[in-house]
Amino acid sequence: MRIRLGYDIQFQMPVAVPVVALLNVHPSRVDDLLAPDRLRIEPEVELEQYTDTFGNLCCRFTAPAGWIRLWNSTIIEDSGNVDASDFSAREIPVADLPPETLRFLLSSRYCEVDLLSNIATQVFGGIPPGWQRVQAICDWVHNHVTFGYHFASPTKTAMDVYRDRTGVCRDFQHLAITFCRALNIPARYAAGYLGDIGVPLTDAPMDFSAWFEVFLEGRWWAFDARNNEPRIGRVLMATGRDATDVAITTSFGVANLVHFEVTTDEVIVLPQEVRAETHLLHRSVA
């Protein structure tokens, strides 16, 4: 399966502002790209690329005063399979966890593990550890929190979500992450593309998506407390402790968003296109 990925994000800057953008596909998916994945900026500015402490690909630049556009369009090859699962996956005792996973057991800006530890133990402590427990957390958050864009707040934390029982995509993930960490299951926030592939289309405009990953049986697995069902075409862009670490853009000054558009659609390859590609391949081999 091929998926077209893209975005068109525009700002008005009162003055020049330094910006860090996490708009590239995650390095773990680079080999799947069929076209360049390059942040394009209008007007053109000097761009510095680096990898952060979580392994995400970042771009740093200074946006000039006035209008600026960030955009890109690329294509990625995807298996077309639903999210991987292993219902027998076990939790790893904290003493045996890889050192790099330990930070995903701690409290962070939006995930107050200390405040929700007793609640997590009361609600989920009696459930067998491992995949079953994580799924129970997803089920609980999905069933007890009401989704709505009008519930969005940049300061809402996991405890706020638990108390209010409302939120947007990232709020569902923050609460689930916090419950997992409170039960000594490493959990990290993830952001990327997730289109309406294999599910009914919605009227909501396409956006970047949030989910979370847990460390079970020696590897990271994707879970999604908002949708709470295996999905097709999930394309990772960045991971971190919570939404703070994976912000699509972080501006160190005022940046007024004036346009936001995201594309993530399956590319339908027609039979004649497949034959044409095969013919070109044979010619190049010859």
Are 2-79+248-285 and 94-235 in the same CATH fold? no
Q: What is the mean pLDDT of residues 104-123?
A: 98
Instruction: Say what the pTM is.
Output: 0.92
Is residue 216 over pLDDT 80? yes
| DSSP H or E run through 219 | strand 219-223
Average pLDDT (257-261) is 97
Q: Which amino acid is at 60?
A: R
- Look at the domain 94-235 and name its fold: C8orf32 fold (3.10.620)
Amino acid 126: pLDDT: 95
Average pLDDT over residues 194-205: 85
Tell me the per-residue pLDDT of 93-113, one tens digit each, with 9 for 90 and over: 999 999 999 999 999 999 999
Would you mind telling me the total number of residues written for the chain in this entry? 286
Instruction: Give the pLDDT band (50/70/90) at residue 271.
Output: low
Distance in Å from the first CA to the final CA of the chain = 27
**pLDDT of 55 strictly over 70:** yes
The pLDDT, as a whole number, for residue 272 is 59
| Confidence category of residue 203, pLDDT binned at 50, 70, 90 | confident
Q: What is the pLDDT, as a whole number, of residue 35?
A: 96
- Averaged pLDDT for residues 186-197: 96
| Helical spans, DSSP H, in 83-191 | 113-124, 131-144, 158-164, 169-182
The domain defined by 2-79+248-285 folds into Immunoglobulin-like (2.60.40)
The mean predicted confidence, pLDDT, of the chain is 94
CA distance 242 to 190: 8
Unique residue bearing structure tokens 């593309």: 193
Distance CA 24, CA 131 (A): 30
Q: Taking the domains of the chain in order of start, what are their residue ranges?
A: 2-79+248-285, 94-235
